[in-house]
Homo-oligomer: A and B are copies of this chain.
Amino acid sequence: MQPRADLRVTMGPFEHLQALVAEDMEAVNALIRTRMASKHAPRIPEVTAHLVEAGGKRLRPLLTLAAARLCGYQGTHHQLLAATVEFIHTATLLHDDVVDESDQRRGRPAANLLWDNKSSVLVGDYLFSRSFQLMVETGNMQALEILANAAAVIAEGEVLQLSAAQDLSTTEAVYLQVVRGKTAALFAAACEVGAVIAEAPEAHAKALFAYGDALGIAFQIVDDLLDFGGASATLGKNIGDDFRERKLTLPIILAVAKADAGERAFWQRTIEKGEQAESDLAHALALMERHGTLEATRQKALYWANEARKALGPLPESELKTVLAELADFVVSRVV
């Protein structure tokens, strides 16, 4: 399944990765469609299809497929695990939208608005259960353990985020812990179970876990940075949602750490008390610019992308390994 050389030139690492596991991914998509069905409750596929067909990037299942193949796996159980990972991700999206009271998801109105919070909670639970059914089918107890642990770390990270929200004393260390929970845990597990199902040596499973962990952290830092328009922020559409929702992401945490008394009062009013005026976002951006925290955040993302690349070291050379390494840089290239 080597893509033609002339194609490779025009493809970014993400498309390249997709091309390398295209056949597997088709099987995963078929699994997702079949398993999100429900004989008795038609509301379930309605809600799920709304989200699934909006088409996320399916980056997490791609990682599972790539990790398994990279470790020489020849079977099909990695497809079950990839579908598991996507179901866990979709379930957390549905619940996140309830928790965040979101209006939009993947460019469409969020499910909690089209139906109601009840449907989002219960359909999320359904997908979560289905994900466990899928992984049980592999019969691989180690993979089950990894994914069950990841699910617990995700939920713990979300609750931690809830209590850290609107709290100006939130440190970079707490931020990292939240990010590890809500994003990196599933990236890391997605990679690790690929190695485990391939019965790869433990060192390779550990390497892929570390790769997924670092990639997930880079990915989330970039996401948080893009919410402010990137490192060279200018006011624009869809900018500042986290600020308005009073979420303490890295660009703000770093700005709070460098704030003088007047600036601190600004952050207390806008984040802790939630008293925000129209012009406050522009002022927040100016403060972040003044202290260089957007650029500092970008540097952190680059650091983690490099950690991801380095983590691949112990793995045997292959086209898939090269693409995974390039993917780490690609994730950060979204912000300039």
Contact = CB atoms under 8 A, between A and B. Distances in A.
Interface in A204-235: none
Contacts of A117: 98-99, 117
Nearest to A123: B159
A121 interface: yes
Contacts of A158: 122, 125
A99 B121 contact: yes
Contacts of A133: 145, 148-149, 152
Contacts of A156: 38, 40-41, 44, 126
A163 interface: yes
Given A38-B156, A141-B141, A163-B43, A148 B132 contact: yes
Contacts of A42: 163
A144 to B, nearest CB: 5
A139 interface: yes
Nearest to A159: B41
Contacts of A141: 136, 139, 141
B43 A125 contact: no
B129 A162 contact: no
A282 to B, nearest CB: 29
Interface string A306-331: 00000000000000000000000000
Interface string A100-127: 0000000000000000011101110110
Contacts of A154: 125, 129
Question: Do most interface residues of chain A lie in helix, strand or loop, or is the interface mixed?
Answer: helix
A160 interface: yes
Interface residues of A, number: 43
A162 B95 contact: no
Contacts of A187: none
Nearest to A138: B141
Nearest to A137: B145
A155 interface: yes
A48 to B, nearest CB: 11
B162 A119 contact: yes
A129 B152 contact: yes
Q: Which 10 A-B pairs have the closest CB atoms?
A: A126-B155, A129-B151, A129-B152, A41-B159, A132-B148, A125-B155, A41-B160, A99-B118, A133-B148, A122-B158
Interface of A: 38, 40-44, 92, 95, 98-99, 117-119, 121-123, 125-126, 128-130, 132-133, 136, 139, 141, 144-145, 148-149, 151-152, 154-160, 162-163, 177, 181
Given A40-B157, A40-B177, A42-B163, 19 more contacts: A40-B156, A40-B160, A40-B181, A41-B157, A41-B160, A41-B163, A43-B160, A98-B117, A99-B118, A119-B159, A122-B158, A122-B159, A125-B151, A126-B156, A128-B128, A128-B151, A129-B155, A132-B144, A144-B144
9 contacts: A40-B160, A95-B125, A123-B159, A129-B154, A132-B132, A132-B148, A133-B148, A133-B152, A136-B148
